[in-house]
Structure 1
């Protein structure tokens, strides 16, 4: 670790941005993992297969993703990040928008296949169990923000448990798609939100 010989020694050093080669390698690896996940299932997402498909060296893959499950996690997390919305402060609109993002996520072949794999393996594999919890926290963060802000503004009861509210909103979509295997549109999303508000919104 370098030692400083003066107060301004490090402040004058040029700041380096992200290494574009590392970004390209990461994108190539995740792209290959996505393809393998959809084509052959979670068990096909291995370091050897991703290296062969992406051209990224196995040493690099192991350095960034020591366990193959972490590749699946980042594939899904990437999709979740793209599905999140920015709250506006309008409760119904914010819930519909975020739930619509979840609807799109559940109908996306990559994220749907990945989520099914995580749910399937979580009961038997501690790595996938931890992965499921991580994805839940990541996926529910905007819902949590919208609901907690609405409670603060007095639009939802202060005693309403946030986790229960998220279950009531997201649960029907997850069940309908991942368990029942049915498709649904924005109209269903709006119905779920309106039923939730009818039950809980402060008049």
Structure 2
């Protein structure tokens, strides 16, 4: 596979920078080829060459936005989980971003293209949490047979429920409680299943 032309790389990065700004300011509604081209100081033709279809531009913009906000794990399980969940909390409280998430979830239910985008965003958005959990299990700080999908549900789920379903705001104290409750649950010795008579 031939490397991309440096000019194409620069154009793509400039466009994504402009698109991320519009996403934060205006939500998904702001991610039009015309608006991104104007903000990035480039032609629409360039944008359409890089992203022929609007959903492709939306996908890459949101993935880029998530990647820029994700943390770098340090090896401290509790702090790494709290830091990454705090980044997620912050994004959920950006008015345009959280509104964009609501729209994405709604459209994914009726539009296969957006269903694929939502799946990509889920994978991208949980990448760091999964890495932290996997490393914690490898260091024997978490069970070796840890169900990573369930762990993600238990850690990230409360944040999304509280913000997008209950429509409540919360701070990092709530994030730390979620992390501490989860880690306490993992350190507790589970009771054996009761025998049936």
Shift of 1:112: 1.9
C-alpha change, 1:62 and 1:200, in structure 2 (3 Å) is same
Query: Aligned pair 1:27/2:14, yes or no?
Result: yes
Structure 2 stretches of 5 or more lacking a match?
A: 190-197
Q: Does structure 2 conserve the Cα–Cα contact (< 8 Å) formed by 1:76 and 1:114?
A: no
TM norm structure 2: 0.81
Query: Aligned pair 1:129/2:121, yes or no?
Result: no
CA RMSD of aligned residues (A): 2.7
Q: Aligned residue for 1:81?
A: 67
TM norm structure 1: 0.79
C-alpha change, 1:51 and 1:193, in structure 2 (3 Å) is same
Q: Does structure 1 conserve the Cα–Cα contact (< 8 Å) formed by 2:143 and 2:186?
A: yes
Q: Distance in 2 between matches of 1:167 and 1:89?
A: 21
C-alpha change, 1:103 and 1:149, in structure 2 (3 Å) is same
Q: Does structure 2 conserve the Cα–Cα contact (< 8 Å) formed by 1:72 and 1:114?
A: no
Give the number of equivalent residue pairs: 187
Instruction: Pick the aligned partner of 1:149 from 135, 157, 174.
Output: 135
Structure 1 stretches of 5 or more lacking a match?
A: 1-14
Report matched runs for 1:55-70 at 5 Å: 55-70=41-56
Shift of 1:43: 4.7
Q: Aligned residue for 1:186?
A: 172
